[in-house]
Structures are given as structure tokens and as C-alpha cells.
Structure 1
Amino acid sequence: MRFLLVGEYSRLHNSLKEGLEKLGHEVIILGFKDGFKNFPVDFPLVRKWNSGILKKIRLAVLRLTGFDISSYLTYRQFLKNKSQFEQFDAVQLINENSFFCNYYFEKKIVNHIFKNNKKVFLLSCSDDYLNVQYNFENPQSKSGIQPYLEGKIKDKDNLSVLKFRTDSFRKLHQYIYSNCSGIIASDFDYDAPLKGNPKYLGVVPNPINTDLLKEEKLEIKDKIIIFLGVNRENCLKKGVDFFEKALQEIQKKYPEKTEVIITENVPYNEYIHCYTKAHILLDQCYAKDQGYNALEAMAKGKVVFTGAEQEFVGYYNIKEPVAINAKPDVAYLVEKLSFLIENPEEIKAMSKRARAFIEKEHNYIKVAEKYLAIWKNN
């Protein structure tokens, strides 16, 4: 069978493609390379007029005329190869705004996809209309909306989220929702907003290529090595400020026992090598479930501070922790880090549990089989 995967944020679609190909299917990825992360894409799109002086000109034209040059140029790139994106057995959109266009051009692109393929599915694995609406209506629920509501993030720095509260993106949501064959959530951060929705097909775990990501046996010699990879564009949304403050306290408390490695905005292939010698990886504070970075680090046997709330624990019937449930609380993070530093045997034990969990629940071929079943039966 032939499948088209639209969009790439975290290597999710690349790992799914690898799993589907192992099962004998043909898979094409269309989309952007996600900025500096530079993920592989079969048909790469480039966001134009999106930085420097050209971005300022684009925004000025947009304010004056309502015409978005960047969206138009993305649409032109799609049209150039549109025949390549037809006659697939199933298409999966990674988001309601997979092409980063305004309503007019995004609808034109997805309309072509709907009309020229057998089935189209929508993946909820980042901000979208229903997810953003739910998080604003439930501010006590762990999400990247919380730091915005606390005034840490300005409107102009949160447009990728706030756009889903506008009428145009509500209309785009309704259009995609009414035409797609179903919606899949990648983890429990996206499950609650979809519960009870007739098009919701459930959670399918993120696929992790456990053949490529080998387990790295943890050896603890003189120091506990802690890694923090910073993406400045969304660091407040991830709670990186809490991690940075906690690390300052840990370095004062355990100067002879710890080593801290911090990287900033590095490409994916470089990023996963940066934390090779780390024992502990700090991922994010505002999640209920693990994101892709956390899962890949767990596959390599790291102890990861990330989302591991009760929804996750209950669903997978976790008896002993496979990750540390991070919270936006410096004292809490210092307490959890201190325990691990003073009990290195628990680091080794959790490392093994993390790898075993990924192999059981996130193996890319097993996950690809779950996607296939959903695509065939809906």
C-alpha cells in the first residue's frame, strides 16, 4: 500500500515511515524540515519571506492588503509537484496547519489532498484548535498554556498557539474535521480534548526506531552527568527556566558529584549525540506524557525528567517509574535530582526500565501496525 505523511516536527513521521517500510509499504513524507532540526523529508517545502527584512515586508503587505506572500509561495511549491501527492491509500496530516499557511491557501492545499486520495487522517501531536481551546478552558491542566497565562510569554511570541483561537483557524478546523476519516492522538497531552468526539480514534504511541537508537549502558564513575538541550524559541513553554534554576542549585549543592551539559538550538543529528554520555536528561515541565525527545532519550537508557502524570501511568499500568514526572517547581526538581545523585543505583535501575518500556510500547514496527489497522478500518 502507498501512504503520504504530511509534516514533520520531531522525527515522528520518519520513524513511522521506517516502520511501514519494514512492513513492505511505500511511504512518502511531504513537509518542512522543522527549522534548525533539519529532519529528512522526501518532498521538502521551504518557508519563504519568513525572516529578516523580507519578513517585515511580508507583514507590512499582510496588514495593508490581507495577502500573505509566504502562504502563497508555499502553495506554489505544492502546486509544482501536486501530482506526486495523489492516489495514496491513506494520507496523514501531522497538524491542522501542516503547511503553515493562512486559511485561504491551507484550505486550497488540503482540499486537493482530500479530493485526490482515498482517506485522510489527522494527527493531534501539537497545538491545534481543540487542544488550545481545552487548555484555555482548563488552565489547571498541565500544558504550555500555563506559562502564557502567568504572563511569562508575550502574545507576539505565542502566535503559533494563539492563531488557533481565531475565526479563520476555527473554520479551517471545521473543514478538516468534516472531511477527514478520523483523528489520532500521539499521547495523553492530546487525549482529553478529543474524548467523546465521534471522529476520535484513540491514542497511538509515538513510534521510536529502537533499531537505530541503541541502549547505552550507563556507567557512573566520578560524576552524575545532567543534560539540558535548549530550544530558545519554545523554552518557556517547556519550563526550561525551572530546569535552569534547579541546575544552579544542584551545582552549588553537589559541585564534586555533578557535571552539567547545556546545548542550544542544535540540529537533530548533533543533538542526539550531545547527550550520549549523560545519565539524566531534562526534557519539559508542562507535559502529561512523554514527547519525542524524551522517548528517544529513554530508548538510549537515560533517566528523563518529562511528563509522566497519572493518565500515562494508569494507561500503561506502570508499576515502577520509567521516567521522572517533571513539574514547574524548582524545589521539587531539586529534590528529585538530589535523590538520584545520592542514589546512583536508582539511575541504573530506571535506565533499564526506560529502555524496556520503549521496546514494549513504542517499537516503531509495532506502532506502524497499529496505524495500519486504524487506517484500514476507518
Structure 2
Amino acid sequence: MKRNDRAIVGFTMLAHAMFHTYELAIPIFVTVWLDAFATTEATLGIVVGAGYALIGLGALPSGILADAYGSKRLVLGSAVGMGGGFLLVSLAPNVAVLGAALILWGAGASLYHPAGLSLLSRGTENRGTAFAYHGVAGNVGTVVGPLAAAVLLSYIDWRLVAALFVAPALIAGAIAFRISFDERAATESAEVAADGDPGRTVEADGGLGSLRKLVGNSRALFTRGFTVVFVVVMLYGLYYRGILTFLPEILGGLQLFEPITVAGRSFQPGRYVYAGLLFVGMFGQYAGGKASDLVETERALVVTFAVLVVAALLFVPASSAGVVPLLAVCVLLGFFVYVAAPVYQATIADYVTADSHGLSYGFTYLAMFGVGALGAAMAGTVLTYAGSAALFVTLAALALLAGLLSVFLLVR
């Protein structure tokens, strides 16, 4: 890997780890907020979902700005927004202020993915490997964030824990500010063809300066192939957010993982199983990135969603069968829910031209995190009124539909 590739990969790895440190620590806080604010899963699902939704709603502007002005300053702005959001979380006196704090966090978080992924796709030559390392770093964050939250919440008040979570943004922002690189090194000499389909060519226009040009470029982007990928990502986002937001609460409610007391301190085993599941996802991210270099990405999507259907349907029976079967399903779920991420990221890059990567990832994360945030509200509502078995059947249906659409992409 060349020096510029290493610099870009290092920069995005750091920022991606920071993003997921916050994103996946929030479900751990959910287990505390349910009691602290005396609320229901349905209400908290809506509040948390609103914060997650901002990640998606801000993704499109972030993608446009990444195409116009480059990615680095957006990534640094993301660090400031996420740190500020968690500072306000630590001060929230009620659910309404908590929601406002999470919305602020989500607005900052929204800047990262379109900017970071367009940087990787335009600036690195070994794109699949770069996506793989980027994904692994994200999963380091998904493990460190929840694990740190779980441990700290066993010893100190949740408000102080939330305040301590401002530190990752400060540290990551300070380090990232000092890294330099050429953002378009891989695309300066030649335009990357979409895949020979002239319908996928999107007009390059510097900053996409006018609404008319934005609409025109967006219309050109949404060819049949990209539209199907967009829907696949949307369904994956609903599955991802729906299964992870309340998973610590679901695990904590099982007899297998009842609280234990050690040295006078109460520990929640379900929180650590959740962190372990996300640790397995680190290997899934790497495997997904490598797979996107070796096989057709559409084929990899089909296999991934088939496994996610099976994992969702097995979760409830496994929870009644004992610790070992349940842990096996959690490993399967943790691995494949993260295999999907680098695979669909590489798929998108195959369906659009280089100059529209920022815009395409903006729309993608509008689907993934904006529409996908409804998965948190959906999960909370289904859990409140129908229970966990109904939730996992619903999630299996989402993965099944995404898999069928991936089959369409494969055979078209």
C-alpha cells in the first residue's frame, strides 16, 4: 500500500472507530435510560431513532459537500459534533432534552460516512482492501465503545460516563488534524467507469452548485441498478438498527444472563455478550471487504442476507436451548451483520462514476441511517406490544426481501 493510501486509510480508520464508539455505546445506555427516565421501549426507541435518523438525513448534504470541498474538514467537523452531543447527553434532565442531545450527536455523526467513504473510493488504489481495514477499525470502535460503557456503568453514574465519552472525539480530532494526503490520488489520471452502462454516468460539476444540477445529477444517479442497491441498503439499515438498538436489553432479560454481583458491584452479562458479538463483527468487516475484491459483490450480498434470515429465526429458539446455542447464533449474527457493510459499499462504487461517489454515498447513508433509523422505533414498538419473538420474525422478513433484491442484481 502506497504512502498516500496508508495516510487515507489511517485517517478514515481513526474517524470510523470514533463514529462507532458512540453509535454502538448508545444501546448500552438505553438499558440505563429506561429506568432513569421511567419510560418504555417504544418511547425510547422513537427518541433514540430520531438521533440515529439525523445520521441519514445529514448524509446527503455531507456527500454533496464532500464532492464540492473535499472530505477532511467534514470528518473533523463530525468529531466536534459528536463530542458536543454526548456532552449534552450527560446533562439531560428528561427524555425531551435527551432526544435533543442525540439529534445534535446525529447531526455531527452524519458528516462522517459519505465524506469518509468517498475519500477512500477516490483516494486509494486498493479500494477493497482499504474498505476492509476501514471496516475493521469501525468494529474496534463498536467493541471499545460498548465495552467501556458496560464496565464504567458498573462503577459510576451514567451521566459521568456520558461526559467521559466526549474524550474520544477530542483525541481523534486532534490526531486526524495532523494527517495529510491527496484526496483524489486514485482518480486524477483517469475517470473510473461505472461498469460500461452509459445510463450510470453522472455529470461532474465541482460543487454541484445549483439545485437544478443537483436534481439532474441525482436523477442520473438513480438508474435501475443503483435504485435497487439503494433499497437493499435501506432494508439492511432497518435490520441493523432494529436488531442492535435493543439487543442488550433483550439479552439482559433472559434468565441465562441475569445480573451477577462481584465484590459488591452488579454486572450485566448481557452487555458483555453484546460487546462480544460486536467484536466478532470485526472479522466480518474484514471478510466482507476481502470478499468484495474476490467475488461479485452481488453474490456476496445474496449469501450474507440468507445467513441473516437464518440467524434471526434461530435467535429465540436458541435462547431457550441454552448458553452454547445462543452464543453460537450471536456469533453468526455478529459476523454476518457486519460482512454486509463493506460489500454494499463496494457495490455502490461499482454502480456510479468517481465524481459522484460523494453524492451516491450521501444517498446511501440517507437509506442506511435515515430510513434505517426507523428500525429502532420499529423494534421498540414491537418489543413493547408483541415481544421479542415477533421482532426477530420481522427482522428475518426484512433480510429476506433484501436477499431477493440482491438476487435480482446478480442475474440482471
TM-score normalised per structure 2: 0.23
Considering fraction of residues, name the structure with more strand: 1
Greater helix percent: which structure?
A: 2
Greater RCO, 1 or 2 (C-alpha within 8 Å, sep 6+): 2
